[in-house]
């Protein structure tokens, strides 16, 4: 088992360094505040969000993500605030991130608002060397791996109307070396650039169609793009599919249980060589909304 962990650690360290440092979500259109602080308060209600993601099920040490977030407008002002907690476990690595978001909304036309957001983050990164197989346990390079704390800041812009949105963001501006003693750096946290966009088309009185896009760029890794197509039926049932470029295809389903509660599930099937070693990824979420000031008659689709 430990031999598997050391192999996975090498693989996941590369992923952490180049590809999946930030948590990965298939249903990003419902969890926007985690990648763009300018989204905080944009739903004009107190919105609470819970998500669990098990990635690459069947592969020892595969990523598991748990996410809890809340955001709300501040009274009748033009400000919104948010708070989120993310726990990521990948092999021997356990990472906890707490973020606070502040957004300011500007009415730029009759239909559109522009939001400017700031994000402050506290990150706790822990490497459990007991899950590794080390040839020389006395090697000083593998000693004193205590939990490491690092702060960060980020920013974003979010332009939206009742049916359209586009946003750009950098959640973390500072690049951080993990356990850096000038000889050993376990991982290096790099800057990620996000672009999100979506639009709602009314196909009929009972069916709405929303294509959505998330694109992520980070130094040293290929551009990652998620393309999603969702259909909202009778403002209750959501059915959709997604494609993550050169990585996975996904099926999505959601249900508006009540005006305040929305639940969703997503399944990813790998299209890369990793498909030979796992049975896919599962993602489930629950969204609650209370104290709504939303003037839109039907449920917001994003």
Q: Please, what is the Cα angle at 64 between 60 and 68, to 5 degrees?
A: 170
3-state secondary structure at position 140? helix
Residue pLDDT, tens place only, 109-135: 999 999 999 999 999 988 877 766 666
pLDDT tens by residue, 266-275: 999 999 888 8
Instruction: Kindly state the DSSP code that residue 111 receives in the 8-state scheme.
Output: S
- Give the C-alpha distances (Å, rounded to integers) separating 143 from 53, 63, 69, 92, 134: 31, 24, 35, 15, 11
Instruction: Collect all residues with Cβ–Cβ distance below 8 Å to 147 and sequence separation of at least 6.
Output: 124, 125, 126
Question: Residue-wise pLDDT tens for the chain (302 aa)?
Answer: 443 443 344 444 444 434 445 778 999 999 899 999 999 999 989 999 999 999 999 888 899 999 999 999 999 899 999 999 999 999 888 999 999 999 999 999 999 999 999 999 999 988 877 766 666 666 656 655 667 888 999 999 999 999 999 999 999 998 876 655 555 555 566 789 999 999 999 999 999 999 999 999 987 778 899 999 999 999 999 999 999 988 899 999 999 999 899 999 999 999 988 888 889 999 999 999 987 665 443 456 78
CATH class of the structural domain 2-290: mainly beta
């Amino acid at each position: 088992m430990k031999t598997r962990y050391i192999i996975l650690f090498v693989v996941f360290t590369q992923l952490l360094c180049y590809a999946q440092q930030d948590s990965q979500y298939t249903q990003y259109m419902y969890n926007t505040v985690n990648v763009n602080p300018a989204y905080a308060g944009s739903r004009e209600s107190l919105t609470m969000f819970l998500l669990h993601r098990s990635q690459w099920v069947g592969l020892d040490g595969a990523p598991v993500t748990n996410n809890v977030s809340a955001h709300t407008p501040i009274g009748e002002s033009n400000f919104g605030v948010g708070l989120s907690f993310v726990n990521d476990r990948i092999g021997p690595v356990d990472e906890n991130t707490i973020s606070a978001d502040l957004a300011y909304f500007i009415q730029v036309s009759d239909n559109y608002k522009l939001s400017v957001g700031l994000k402050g983050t506290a990150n706790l990164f822990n490497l459990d060397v007991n899950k590794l197989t080390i040839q020389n346990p006395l090697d000083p390079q593998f000693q004193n791996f205590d939990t490491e704390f690092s702060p960060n800041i980020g920013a974003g812009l979010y332009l939206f109307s009742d049916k359209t949105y586009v946003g750009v963001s950098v959640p973390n501006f500072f690049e951080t070396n993990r356990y850096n003693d000038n000889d050993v750096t376990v991982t290096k946290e790099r800057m990620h650039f996000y672009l999100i966009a979506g639009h709602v088309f009314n196909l009929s009185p009972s069916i709405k169609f929303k294509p959505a896009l998330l694109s992520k760029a980070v130094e040293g890794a290929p551009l990652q793009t998620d393309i999603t197509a969702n259909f909202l039926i009778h403002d209750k049932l959501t059915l959709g599919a997604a494609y993550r470029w050169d990585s996975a295809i996904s099926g999505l389903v959601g249900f508006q249980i009540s005006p305040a509660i929305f639940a969703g599930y997503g399944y990813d099937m790998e299209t890369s060589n990793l498909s030979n070693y796992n049975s896919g990824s599962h993602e489930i979420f629950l969204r609650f909304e209370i104290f709504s000031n939303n003037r839109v008659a039907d449920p917001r689709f994003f």
